[in-house]
Amino acid sequence: MRSGRKRAVRSGPARAAAAASAFALGCTALVATSGPAGAATGCEVEYTVVNEWSTGFTAGVTVTNLGDALDGWTLEWDFAGDQQVGNGWNGSYSQSGQHVTVEDAGYNGTLGTEASVEIGFNGTYSGSNSVPSSFTLNGVECDGGTTDPTDPPEEPDPDPTDPPEEPEPGERVDNPYVGADVYVNPQWAANAEAEPGGDAVADEPTAVWLDQISAIEGNDSPTTGSMGLVDHLDEAVEQANGEPLVFQVVIYNLPGRDCAALASNGTLGPEEIGKYKNDYIDVIAEIIDRPEYSDLRIVTTIEPDSLPNLVTNVGGRETATENCDEMLENGNYVEGVAYALEALGAVPNVYNYVDAGHHGWIGWEDNFGASVDLFYETAQTGGASPEDVHGFIVNTANYSALVEPYFDVTDNVNGQMVRQSDWVDWNNYADELSFAQALRDEAVSTGFPSDIGMLIDTSRNGWGGDARPTGPGPQTSVNDYVNEGRVDRRIHLGNWCNQSGAGLGERPTAAPESGIDAYVWVKPPGESDGSSEEIPNDEGKGFDRMCDPTYGGNPRNGDSDSGALANAPISGHWFSEQFQELLANAYPPVQ
């Protein structure tokens, strides 16, 4: 005889007094067969093998009523093997095949709420003596919970063959672009339609830029026209017509904005962080949180050309500027972005995407990890959280090719890696798609949520037309191989202003590649990056020589020609010549 060995099974949550070898059972309480009509039901059972030998065993059973008081009870279970109940105590036992029924003994028939009764029996077996897997008390499965008949019935599990239900318009989703239309800015559409051939793309969605405080209410600038944020949101509700719709808005007004360039300087001075918070972010947050806009999926692009500047254009670097050093020291870029993330992220239907530069800026090893670390630090500043970041956007208002189809940075030509070419210049990435996917992985590994997604601005990175190569370059040298095979025809990766030869890129598309939430047109094609010569204005826009076609460059573009178009207006103003070139060089071509 073996004694002292216990095997126990309990239905419902474990208790402190249970034997160490207890096994938890999981079933669902449904209906009771005794007790007053409408009574709450529920129970818990602990079945313990107190003693066991070669052909027999002793079992103890504790039954606890978790529902309303019972006046009479019946416990039932099924053995898995050939166990047979012999003599028992504290109940009336019967068995049919593997099914066992125990009725109360009369004197213990009343079982109050949380009251327990101890029963037990001796039994025989051959083979295995596994414990029962489930029990019922008065027809109620004992899972350790209770059921109130006044509660609504549980919904049945969905049929896996049924198509998934479409989310409601304002329901939180993983990718806001999937299953939704995207807002078409009527002001940009009107400008596009007025251009020869522009009607072919005038129905494409573009973002609304709030690049100064006055843009919130609307003004007469060519950037925003007379429509303010409320006007755009009201129009978006009409376009949605009760269906899911994404409204894209660019948050772009940091103190000391765009510290490494002048063409897109803003109206707030480096120290005006209070005004940024109170008069800009708080006002925007209040508007988009209004009930009438709760069904829109509002996608924000948070402060282009801000945080990466604090990595690449500060300190003793050759590319450093005094303005960027100042913004690093005063902390207002970090504080401002964090405040925007917190305030806008608190609105349930807002999806924040932080601007993360582009591969020709952040793609080098000493920039890449440091930038993601800064993004993570910013997302934990003040009251912000990484959960306020739905993802990142790359290539905002830039020209970097989506994909370089004819070479890869790992290629080797005559013993030299492509990374050694003058164009790639030891960058780890050749295009925006590979860069975006890698940056997403780095962000997740740093601590951002694993479900973040990426956006890529493809509004001007098509590089089609007659100059687009149709195959790899010659392998006469690594520079020939890259220069004659690259689709990005800029003179230098650092060139960013009104680039000659550029074309419309991929049309806005939801979920085009792994980790990519959408290709988007955040920069409205046809709106200038900056003036080619100094133009006085009241919008805070300076003159940047990178927009001057005669400029020979600076360390940030390898002292190369700017590649900018002539006769350009100040940033945000309509530039007809550029729009026509973008149409002509579109890739895929405009049909």
Q: Any known ligand binding at 282? A: no
Ligand-binding annotation for 521, yes or no, is: no
Distance CA 459, CA 315 (A): 33
Q: What is the DSSP string of 135-179?
A: EEETTEE-SS-EE-TTSPPPPPPPPTTSPPPPPPTTS--SSTTTT
User: What does the alpha-carbon distance between residue 578 and residue 499 come to, in Å, rounded to a whole number?
Assistant: 9
Q: Please indicate if the annotation marks 211 as binding a ligand.
A: yes
Check 143, 431, 457, 529 and give the catalytic one: 529
305 part of the active site: yes
| Annotated binding-site residue? 523 | yes
361 is in an annotated binding site: yes
Query: DSSP letter string over 129-143?
Result: -PPPS-EEETTEE-S
- Considering only CA atoms, which of 550, 575, 574 is closest in space to residue 564? 550
> Does 209 appear as a known binding residue?
yes
- Neighbouring CB atoms inside 10 A of 92's CB total 12
**Distance between CA atoms of residues 50 and 58, nearest Å:** 6
Q: Which of 305, 411, 431, 457 is catalytic?
A: 305
Strands 41-52 and 56-65, bridge-based pairing: antiparallel
The DSSP bridge pattern shows strands 99-103 and 74-78 to be antiparallel
What 92-100 contacts at long range (C-beta under 8 Å, 24+ apart), as own/partner pairs, is 93/121, 100/76
User: What does the alpha-carbon distance between residue 140 and residue 128 come to, in Å, rounded to a whole number?
Assistant: 27
CA distance 335 to 213: 18
C-alpha to C-alpha distance for 537 and 235, rounded to whole angstroms:
29
Measured CA to CA in angstroms, residue 168 lies from 171, 237, 295, 565 at distances of 5, 14, 8, 45
Nearest to 450 by CA among 460, 458, 442: 442
Annotated binding site: 209, 211, 358, 361, 398, 496, 523, 527
Q: Which positions are catalytic?
A: 258, 305, 529
Annotated binding site for substrate: 209, 211, 358, 361, 398, 496, 523, 527
